[in-house]
């Protein structure tokens, strides 16, 4: 206990915490670890040190596994002012949740955290080798990918500035804050219908912006009509906002409509191509294929969080990370015991 406290105090007092969490890639930052002299062999390397990765690290740190977290500091929710729907942290700033987790994880002496970008991975006889942008080569017996996904912003002026603030992806995360407000759904077909069915409970001021010809089945159209949900096909040209807070949606034909919030379903791609390069299969939706224990299709490689699940939430990322950490530890235990 004494050693753990002094470790956290040391990091805080020396300002290393700020250094470790804030240094931009490619300058790897170290938390009580010297890559020139220390052993670069780990039991587990976790790539991605946001909620899923941090959670996996906690399970492994508590099992006294030598574990390295590599994080490039680019979580998907970084622009969101407040994160919701995660008990004990409801309404907290996303970075504050991650920061608290990092502090707790660094209390475990076998856990190391670096700010860097993993750029390649390779299978070796003993496990895996990872190279980073800062030029460090590391090895581990198991890998956990907690790399998240990258949301692809459409080419609509103002869209990306509002993303996570008033252009939102999930009713569970931000819907309550916009209850009763003028709300748009920028999507078409089954996706739009699904969002409309969820959001209809939160506001009766709903408009679907299909950005082109409607793609609803007849029964879907009837249901939308029954709930007096308007549909606008005219393509969206611009989202007018002030500091990310929506004011008007401006259409191609020059007309405009006031909104407080717009739900949008955007495409995504994997944040890291290392899992695919290692041979991890992807699902039809583009997620890393995992089994019930977060194992990918490549032995010794795990994935957790947004990269392997369409259910995006901090709580679920933490749960998946926790499971991935425990399962990686169990595999090591089974091999060694």
Ligand X SMILES: Cc1cc2nc3c(=O)[nH]c(=O)nc-3n(C[C@H](O)[C@H](O)[C@H](O)COP(=O)(O)OP(=O)(O)OC[C@H]3O[C@@H](n4cnc5c(N)ncnc54)[C@H](O)[C@@H]3O)c2cc1C
Which residues sit at the interface with ligand X, rule CB under 6 A?
A: 47-48, 50-53, 70-77, 80, 83-86, 117-118, 146-148, 151, 163-164, 169, 173-174, 271-272, 305-306, 312-315, 317
Q: How far is the CB of 320 from ligand X (least distance, A)?
A: 8
Q: How far is the CB of 145 from ligand X (least distance, A)?
A: 8
The region that residue 17 occupies, defined by phi over 0 for left and psi between -120 and 50 for alpha, beta otherwise, is: alpha
Q: How far is the CB of 307 from ligand X (least distance, A)?
A: 6
Q: Which is nearer to ligand X, 140 or 231 (CB)?
A: 140
Cβ neighbours for 20, distance < 8 A, ≥ 6 positions apart? 11, 29, 30, 31, 102, 113, 114, 115
Nearest residue to 47 via CA among 121, 149, 145, 132: 145
Q: How far is the CB of 148 from ligand X (least distance, A)?
A: 3
Q: Which is nearer to ligand X, 53 or 300 (CB)?
A: 53
Q: How far is the CB of 302 from ligand X (least distance, A)?
A: 13
Q: Which residue has the CB atom at the shortest distance from ligand X?
A: 305
Sign of the torsion formed by the C-alpha atoms of 98, 101, 107 and 113 = negative
Q: Which is nearer to ligand X, 49 or 232 (CB)?
A: 49
Distance CA 289, CA 38 (A): 34
The region that residue 189 occupies, defined by phi over 0 for left and psi between -120 and 50 for alpha, beta otherwise, is: left
Q: Which is nearer to ligand X, 71 or 161 (CB)?
A: 71
Q: Which is nearer to ligand X, 105 or 224 (CB)?
A: 105
Distance CA 81, CA 94 (A): 7
Helix (H) or strand (E) holding 68: strand 67-71
Q: Which is nearer to ligand X, 26 or 189 (CB)?
A: 26
| 3-state helix/strand/coil string of 103-115 | HHHCCCCCEEEEE
Q: How far is the CB of 87 from ligand X (least distance, A)?
A: 10
């Amino acid at each position: 206990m004494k050693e753990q406290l002094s470790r956290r105090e040391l990091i805080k007092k020396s300002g290393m915490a700020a250094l470790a969490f804030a240094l931009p890639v490619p300058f790897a930052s170290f938390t009580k670890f010297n890559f020139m002299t220390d052993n670069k062999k780990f039991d587990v390397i976790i790539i991605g040190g946001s909620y899923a990765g941090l959670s996996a690290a906690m399970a492994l740190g508590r099992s006294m596994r030598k574990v390295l977290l590599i994080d490039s500091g680019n979580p998907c929710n970084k622009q969101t002012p407040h994160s919701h729907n995660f008990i004990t942290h409801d309404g907290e700033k996303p970075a504050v949740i991650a920061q608290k987790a990092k502090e707790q994880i660094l209390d475990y002496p076998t856990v190391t955290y670096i700010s860097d970008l993993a750029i390649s991975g390779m299978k070796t006889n003993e496990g895996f080798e990872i190279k980073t942008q800062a030029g460090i080569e590391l090895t581990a017996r198991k890998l956990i990918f907690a790399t998240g996904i990258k949301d692809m912003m459409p080419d609509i002026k103002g869209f990306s500035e509002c993303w996570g603030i008033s252009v939102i992806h999930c009713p569970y995360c931000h819907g309550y804050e916009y209850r009763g407000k003028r709300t748009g759904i920028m999507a078409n077909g089954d996706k739009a219908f699904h969002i409309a069915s969820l959001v209809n409970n939160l506001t009766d001021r709903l408009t679907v912006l299909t950005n082109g010809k409607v793609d609803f089945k007849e029964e879907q159209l009837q249901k939308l009509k029954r709930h007096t949900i308007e549909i606008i096909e005219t393509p969206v040209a611009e989202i007018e906002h002030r500091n990310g807070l929506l004011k008007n949606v401006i259409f191609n034909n020059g007309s405009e409509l006031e909104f407080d919030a717009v739900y949008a379903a955007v495409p995504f791609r994997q944040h890291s191509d290392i899992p695919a390069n290692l041979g991890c299969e992807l699902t039809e939706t583009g997620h890393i294929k995992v089994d019930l224990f977060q194992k990918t299709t490549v032995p010794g490689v795990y994935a957790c969080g947004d990269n392997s699940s369409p259910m995006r939430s901090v709580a679920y990322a933490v749960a998946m990370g926790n499971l991935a950490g425990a399962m990686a530890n169990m595999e090591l235990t089974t091999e060694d015991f």
